[in-house]
Amino acid sequence: MALIRKRRLTDQQKRRIHKQHQSRQDDLDTSNDLEGLVVQHYGRQLEIKALSVPEIHPEKPTVGPNDPEPFWKPITLGSVWRCHTRTNLELLVTGDRVTWQADPNTGLGIITAIHARQSLLTRPDRYHKVKPVAANISLIVIVFAPLPEPAPTLIDRYLVACQHANIPTLLVLNKADLIDQNHHIQTLLQEYQALGYEVMTTHAHGHVDALTQRLDGETVAFVGQSGVGKSSLINAILPDASQKINVISENSALGQHTTTSTRLIDFGQSGALIDSPGIREFGLWHLTEDAIYSGFPEISALIGQCQFRNCTHKQAKNCALEKAALQGDILPRRLESFLRLCDEIQEAQQKS
Ligand SMILES: Nc1nc2c(ncn2[C@@H]2O[C@H](COP(=O)(O)OP(=O)(O)OP(=O)(O)O)[C@@H](O)[C@H]2O)c(=O)[nH]1
Ligand SMILES: [Mg+2]
Ligand SMILES: [Zn+2]
């Protein structure tokens, strides 16, 4: 064992250590800390809305009468600032509450800390990394429409993700003007309603009062396929939002995304509406089988009733799920969707 000897520090060494400590303290100076909300993403930069202002506002530099007016952005409540993040911070998303500092001389800010999240919606990216989508959402509106043709399995996937994130959902069937009475999409809506999900029908070019009322006070994320009218609905609720919408609706059938970044827009006193790009695929391989069950309440109610404990639910004989589907107690398409998700998870587990 090494012999530890106490060493006397010279005065000069003491002074140097004190100075180093002081400069570290200066780095951590928190007196300029502000509260903020992430309202939009731009690659590595973010936009922050100021939720607080400094007790003592920094003073604008004074210049001589012939000098040009220097750049100066006052820190006001609700003002929006481009910000970088400290490198040690985890990935931030729209809806995150943060601590940040503003520099009125440049109009830029730096985010120094992230607050604990109430909720977080995630999805895996194409590199199979779990990617946060939006934080602190209190309600997710899943929008679908007669055009583009809905993909019920995508709706099922959204429902699993929302249930997993523990965020309530509202299913909105938009473009009501394009639905004739016998349209199969009505049936789709009714099926989800029968499963216990809250549903609503809207027409983004008509009245959206009922939807506006329902969303009051909530922080709402709009999700759904490209072209279903998410941005149109937000513009109908908040005309000042001026979200870009697809001019030629046929474009959406080609899978072009009009909204390209997730943006948060103030809504009433305490609410917010979050527009997000349409998502064509929504992998759930990062979830557990239990999470999948929770997105299929009618199926999870039957779990344990199959004859064999290790039932794969793929042979009609002795399988409670197959039997229920054959008898019309559950929807065959929902069972199919459920089994496909379970397969996806198993495949992912085998690969890793
Ligand atoms: N007929 C009809 N058309 C609508 C309605 N709502 C939206 N649209 C049209 O549908 C097209 C797509 O609308 P967007 O609001 O851009 O759709 P989005 O869901 O935001 O699409 P992405 O941003 O690409 O994800 C536009 O041409 C809208 O005018 C509606 O209620 N009825
Ligand atoms: Mg859009
Ligand atoms: Zn079974």
Q: For residue range 45-98, list pLDDT tens digits in order.
A: 899 999 999 998 888 888 888 888 889 999 999 999 999 998 788 889 999 999
Q: Collapse the DSSP code of 276 into the 3-class scheme (helix H, G, I; strand E, B; otherwise coil) and give the result.
A: coil
Q: Which pLDDT belongs to residue 232?
A: 94
Q: Which ligand does the CA of 304 lie closest to?
A: 3
Number of other CB atoms surrounding residue 297 within 10 Å: 13
Q: Point out the ligand nearest to the CA of residue 263.
A: 2
User: Is the pLDDT confidence value at 191 over 60?
Assistant: yes
Give the torsion through C-alpha atoms of 256, 260, 264, 268, to 10 deg.
Answer: -30
Ligand 1 site: residues with CB under 6 angstroms?
174-175, 177-178, 203-205, 226-232, 245-246, 249, 252, 257-259, 277-278
**For residues 103 and 64, is the Cβ–Cβ distance under 8 A?**
no
Better-predicted residue by pLDDT, 9 or 174: 174
Mutate which of 172, 208, 211, 245 for ligand 1 pocket (most atoms within 8 A of beta carbon): 245
Instruction: Indicate whether 326 pLDDT > 50.
Output: yes
pLDDT for 107 equals 95
Q: What percent of the chain has pLDDT over 70?
A: 87
Instruction: Look at residue 4 in the predicted model and tell me its pLDDT.
Output: 46
Residue nearest to atom 8 of ligand 1 (CA): 229
Residue entry with tokens 């072209």: 227
What pLDDT shows up at residue 253?
Answer: 47
Q: What angle do CA 31, 33, 37 make, to 5 degrees?
A: 170
Nearest to 183 by CA among 149, 140, 210, 209: 149
219: CA distance to ligand 1 center in Å?
21
3 has pLDDT over 70? no
Please give the Cα distance from 120 to 70 (Å, whole number): 41
Q: Which ligand is nearest to the CA of 325?
A: 3
Judge whether 337 and 155 are in contact, CB under 8 Å: no
Tokens linked to 199: 């549903």
What is the average pLDDT value for the chain, to the nearest integer?
A: 86
Atom 2 in ligand 1: residue holding the nearest Cα: 175
Nearest CA to 48 among 80, 95, 96? Answer: 80
Distance (angstroms) between ligand 2 centre and the Cα of 157 equals 20
**Across 21-25, 145-149, 235-239, 254-258, least confident range:** 21-25
Ligand 1, from 232, 233, 244, 260: best to mutate by most atoms within 8 Å of Cβ? 232
Which one has a higher pLDDT value, 346 or 15?
346
Confidence of residue 263 (pLDDT cuts 50, 70, 90): confident
The ligand 1 atom at the shortest distance from the C-alpha of residue 178 is: 1
pLDDT at 344: 87
- Angle of the 332-351 helix axis to the 320-327 helix axis, nearest 10: 150
Q: Which residue out of 201, 249, 265 has the highest number of ligand 1 atoms within 8 Å of its CB and is therefore the one to mutate?
A: 249
Which range, of 85-89, 284-288, 310-314, averages the lowest pLDDT?
284-288
Q: What is residue 252's predicted lDDT score, i.e. its pLDDT?
A: 45
Report the distance separating Cα 161 and Cα 246, nearest Å: 27
Q: Which whole number is the average pLDDT over 88-112?
A: 93
Q: What is the mean pLDDT of residues 337-344?
A: 92
The predicted model gives 166-192 an average pLDDT of 91
Counting ligands in written order, which one lies closest to the CA of residue 309? 3
Alpha helices in the chain (DSSP H): 11-27, 152-165, 184-194, 209-215, 230-237, 249-253, 289-294, 297-300, 320-327, 332-351
| φ/ψ of residue 177, rounded to 5 | -65, -20
pLDDT above 90 (res 347): no
Categorize the per-residue pLDDT at 285 as very low, low, confident or very high, splitting at 50, 70 and 90: confident
pTM of the entire predicted model: 0.84
Task: Note the pLDDT of residue 42.
Answer: 75
Distance 74 CA to ligand 2 centre (A): 32
C-alpha triplet 219, 283, 260: angle, nearest 5°: 55
pLDDT score at 270: 85
Indicate if the pLDDT at residue 255 is higher than 60: no
User: How far does CA 298 lie from the centroid of its chain?
Assistant: 26
- 222 CA: nearest ligand 1 atom: 19
Phi, psi of 269 (to 5 degrees): -70, -50
Q: How far is the CA of 345 from the centre of ligand 3 (A)?
A: 17
Residue bearing the bigger pLDDT, 248 or 76: 76
DSSP 58: P
Give every CB contact of residue 194 below 8 A, 6+ residues apart in sequence: none
Residue among 33, 18, 346, 332 nearest 156 (CA): 332
On whether the CB atoms of residues 47 and 38 are closer than 8 A, the answer is yes
Indicate the SS3 state at residue 208.
coil
Tell me the average pLDDT across 327-349: 91
Instruction: Give residue-wise pLDDT tens across range 14-41.
Output: 777 666 655 554 555 677 899 999 999 8
CA atoms within 13 A on the CB side of 282: 26
Q: Please give the distance, rounded to the nearest whole angstrom, from the Cα atom of residue 231 to the centre of ligand 2.
A: 4
For ligand 1, atom 12, name the residue with the nearest CA. Answer: 227
